[in-house]
Amino acid sequence: MSIVTLTVNPALDKSAKIDQMVPEQKLGCHAIQYQAGGGGVNISRVLKVLEVKNKCLFTSGGDTGEHLKNLLEKENIPLKEIPVEAWTRENFSVVDTKTELQYRFGMPGNGLTVTEIDLIKRIIDEEVTENSILVLSGSLSEHMPLDLYVQLIQQVAGKNVKIIVDTSGKALLETIKEPVYLIKPNQQELAKMVGKEFLSKKEQEAAAMQLVHAKTATYVVVSMGARGAFLASAEGIVYRNTPSIKVKSTIGAGDSMVAGMVFAIQQNLTPEEILKWGVVCGSATTMSEGTNLASAEDIQEILRLIG
């Protein structure tokens, strides 16, 4: 079962440290690092750590796009860049070493031309084969069509593809108009998906099961931050808590969670194991500093902790 990830709004992630965050002063940064970022890009990187073969598709523009591609090549990630006119965006995060607080600055993405969207569709049609997994992950910039993921899902209709979607906001609400294999909303997003502002625990479970019964998704995984996550499927609800660890950074944790679940899905594991691997990989990434993702050693450590 081949795996393809697509990131239409990737980012060149830059992280740094400062000795103290002070307003209106020039602050000296150190420990500068660059990483290739964005939903599907991060998922492909963690799948590589898990020794799972996959193809990483991403839009790429300007020098930042070229830098992102070079970083992926250094990690030996099988890839296909999709050239676009607009430069790939940059994100920036900085850790105040005095307080150990992390500050994250997300830059807006750019739009896509009709020609560029058509190119993405053609590449998806070429790269996504029968009985494969297609991961559509990451935000859509405000300049992209809200139904872009819907268009791509329709592009592979008839190929018996397991579609995994991890996005947010209006794009998520639009995308679930098409049936998919797995979605991963957080608690607030789940509430909005059923037209509410807040849901109790029982209401969250009922809402997730409602989406399953409506065939919106085979699996609905609801992330609950530091408290773990639960998974809803035709077999019912399962929960998994996160282990007690020192969190250094949450950047990429959600993407890493998706990578762990893709790993389990490819192996036809049970819903309990799918959720377990998601929590394992998401937790392992929080043990890394800055924009670094889960390492093989940290994944093994989390597996040892949760049993």
198-208 per-position pLDDT tens digit: 999 999 999 99
Side by side, the strands of the sheet bearing 30-37 are 30-37, 11-18, 89-96, 101-106
In terms of Cα–Cα distance, which of 62, 17, 38 is closest to 167?
38
From 13, 166, 255, 298, the catalytic residue: 255
- The predicted model scores a pTM of 0.95
- Higher pLDDT residue, 194 or 235? 235
pLDDT at 49: 97
Distance of CA 167 to the CA centre of its chain: 8
List the beta bridge partners of residue 103: 94
How confident is the model at residue 225, as a pLDDT? Answer: 85
Beta-bridged to residue 17, according to DSSP, are 30, 95
Q: Which of 8, 7, 30 is nearest to 290 (CA)?
A: 30
pLDDT digits (tens, 9 = 90+) for 129-174: 999 999 999 999 999 999 999 999 999 998 999 999 999 999 999 9
The label of the residue with tokens 């929590």 reads 279
Q: Name the strand (E) or helix (H) holding 154.
A: helix 148-155
Q: Measuring CA to CA, how many Å separate 120 from each of 40, 55, 128, 131? A: 14, 14, 12, 20
Give the pLDDT of residue 1. Answer: 82
Is the pLDDT higher at 226 or at 211? 211
User: Per-residue pLDDT tens for 69-122?
Assistant: 999 999 999 999 999 999 999 999 999 999 999 999 999 999 999 999 999 999
CATH superfamily ID and name for 3-18+32-306: Ribokinase (3.40.1190.20)
To the query of whether residue 255 is one of the catalytic residues in this protein, the response is: yes
* Paired strand residues for 23: none
**Residues 124, 150: contact at Cβ < 8 Å?**
no
Q: What is the mean pLDDT of the chain?
A: 95
Which helix or strand (DSSP H or E) is residue 182 part of?
Answer: strand 180-183
| pLDDT (tens digit per residue) in 273-300 | 999 999 999 999 999 988 899 999 999 9
Work out the average pLDDT over 244-258: 93
pLDDT at 128 over 90: yes
Is the pLDDT assigned to residue 307 strictly greater than 90? no
